[in-house]
Amino acid sequence: MLGGLLAAAGALTLALTQAQAQAAEPGTAELYAEHCASCHGTDRLGAMGPALLPENLARLKQADAARVILNGRPATQMPAFAETLSAESAQALAQFIYQPPAEPPRWAEPEILASHLLPHPAGSLPDEPVFEADMLNLFLVVEIGDHHVTVLDGDTMTPVTRFASRYALHGGPKYSPDGRYVYFGSRDGWITKYDLYNLRVVAEVRAGINMRNIAVSADGNYVLAANYLPHSLVLFDATNLGLMKVIDVTGENGTSSRVSAVYTAPPRGSFIAALKDLPEAWEITVRQGRPEVRVMATGTYLDDFFFDPGYQHLIGAARDGKHGLVIDLDSGKTIADLPLPGMPHLGSGITWDYRGRRVMATPHFRTGAVSIIDMDNWEVIKTLQTEGPGFFMRSHENSRYAWVDVFFGPNSDKVHVIDKQTLEIVKTLQPAPGKVSAHVEFDRYGEKLLLSVWDDDGAVIAYDANTLEELKRLPMNKPSGKYNVWNKIRYEEGTSH
Ligand code: DHE
């Protein structure tokens, strides 16, 4: 009863907010229809341009949105409207797109099926690469400045090709087990399958309106998408991205939830997902083409998580940002609590052998520290002070060093190199003073690595992984993640999976 009253009051407030916005700015919906709808969709779900809904705009301030409307976005198709629209109209439009639409947006089976694009069905393109390179030592570089991807030869560190991606790719692209195909996920819900042998997009589908990430099953047969909006996990056949099943993410009490992320768990033959609005982790196993869900109660909401190398344990970051917990994936029970203040970024965790023990390390979003944890007894054995909070950590089995960036704060142009055996910082690099330097990926041998200068006028820098000398600098447009085929398909211990 109380819940019903609260829901009714919430709906009334929402209706009033919308009515007030519309009353304050008569004609804004018409302005949207005239100037924005052709690229962003009449329903604001996105078309050639990105979706313009509150969830999709969460990372952009409303004032910045008004500025983008007036000035456009360089290197994209977003034009400047300063000559057509007044500052007040731009402000009103910005306010309009941050309001939820009157009708909740829908993205279910019919919409997913209608979005499916299949320019090159499986089997229709040659099975030989159209260029010469070690196909297992290729890198993909995601350039978020102008939404492109560069394919890079990892032996010579030279670009092979560069192609336009969907708007705002996020998270690591996932490879087929043989490394021929790669699947990208965009924040707007698009999944793109790309053939690295033929350098072509072969299939696309839109799994949701606001997506977190995707995972590819260890056998290469399935792709599972994790959504914030709607609250769903969506299963596709990996061959042509045909829809198999929309799984509603709703708990036993009827509460639905966003999905924090989903990963494949190779030795278990399953996917593991954690939920943002329910204290649960789900194990999803596909049997005879049908997904089966096993629910594990976690006692807390998990934002970010990681696995031990055998996928026996899930190590999750609790939403309060003050601790982590370890869940035994067989029993579903929480077996340890980790003292990790400062919001650990466990999605970026890596592991290595340290004096006969397996340790894991994670940077923190809120403190300048790297925590190093013994994975046998789950004790923090070292907290390494850094020059600011970091985002990404990387190493390679063949390298004695682990790299961590200082993503936030006044030292965001610095990157630390940690000796994995002394657990000390042995060098701090500042490759482009004043510009964020972040995210490392090694080549397949662990001999060279790439670091991003995270700027529109940016670069990827190749380093010798042993001498730490710079080898080469390739100009790029805000390069974010780099992904080496071999390291990903072998689940290399120093990289993300
Ligand atoms: Fe990410 C990976 C969540 C903000 C760049 N990020 C991931 C993954 C998750 C995640 C769950 C793992 C998915 C995978 O690889 O399958 N990211 C989040 C957030 O919750 C957060 C903090 C807020 C949000 O808005 O979503 C966030 N992420 C960012 C950024 O602001 C970054 C720096 C720029 C961007 O592109 O948005 C960013 N995230 C990345 C990158 C990866 C990533 C480059 C892949 C890292 C890898 O090496 O695998």
The H or E element spanning position 303 is: strand 302-307
Q: Mean pLDDT throughout 331-347?
A: 90
Task: State the pairing for strand pair 259-265/222-229.
Answer: unpaired
pTM: 0.91
**Which of ligand 1's atoms lies nearest the C-alpha of 303?**
20
Question: Which pLDDT does position 263 carry in this prediction?
Answer: 97
CA distance 155 to 487: 14
Structure token pair of residue 210: 């606001």
Pocket around ligand 1 at a 6 A CB cut-off: 59, 144, 170-172, 212-213, 261, 347, 391, 439, 480-481, 496
The predicted pLDDT at position 411 comes to: 98
* 7 pLDDT above the threshold of 50: no
Q: Is the pLDDT of residue 300 over 50?
A: yes
**What are the tens digits of pLDDT across the range 248-264?**
999 988 999 999 999 99
Whether residue 93 contacts residue 66, with contact meaning beta carbons closer than 8 Å, is answered with yes
CA-based torsion, 46, 144, 444, 138: positive or negative: positive
Residue 292 has pLDDT above 90, yes or no: yes
Minimal-distance CA residue to ligand 1 atom 25: 59
Tokens standing for 396?
């390679």
Q: Specify the DSSP class assigned to residue 119.
A: S
Would you place residue 6 in the very low, low, confident or very high pLDDT band (cuts 50, 70, 90)? Answer: very low
- 23-97 maps to which CATH number? 1.10.760.10
Atom of ligand 1 nearest to the CA of 441: 48
Is the interface score ipTM higher than 0.85?
yes
Atom of ligand 1 nearest to the CA of 394: 48
Distance 171 CA to ligand 1 centre (A): 5
CA nearest ligand 1 atom 36, residue? 170
pLDDT over threshold 90, residue 75: no
Identify which has the larger pLDDT, 42 or 175.
175
Q: 170: CA distance to ligand 1 center in Å? A: 6
Cα-to-centroid distance, 278 and ligand 1 (Å): 21
Average pLDDT, the chain: 92
Q: Which of 170, 439, 489, 496 to mutate to test the pocket of ligand 1 (most atoms within 8 A of CB)?
A: 170
- The closest of 69, 121, 241, 291 to 60, measured between CA atoms, is 69
Domain borders along the chain are 23-97
pLDDT digits (tens, 9 = 90+) for 400-432: 999 999 999 999 999 999 999 999 999 999 999
Closest approach atom of ligand 1 to CA 215: 16
Three-state DSSP state, 213: strand
The pLDDT of 203-207, averaged and rounded, is 98
For residue 345, the CA-to-ligand 1 centroid distance in Å is 10
- Rounded Cα distance between 397 and 443, Å, is 11
**Omega of the bond leading into 230 within 30 degrees of 0 (cis):** yes
Q: Whose CA is nearest to atom 1 of ligand 1?
A: 171
CA 436 / ligand 1 centre spacing (Å)? 16
Cα–Cα nearest to 234, from 271, 281, 193: 271
Highest mean pLDDT among 39-48, 336-345, 487-496: 487-496
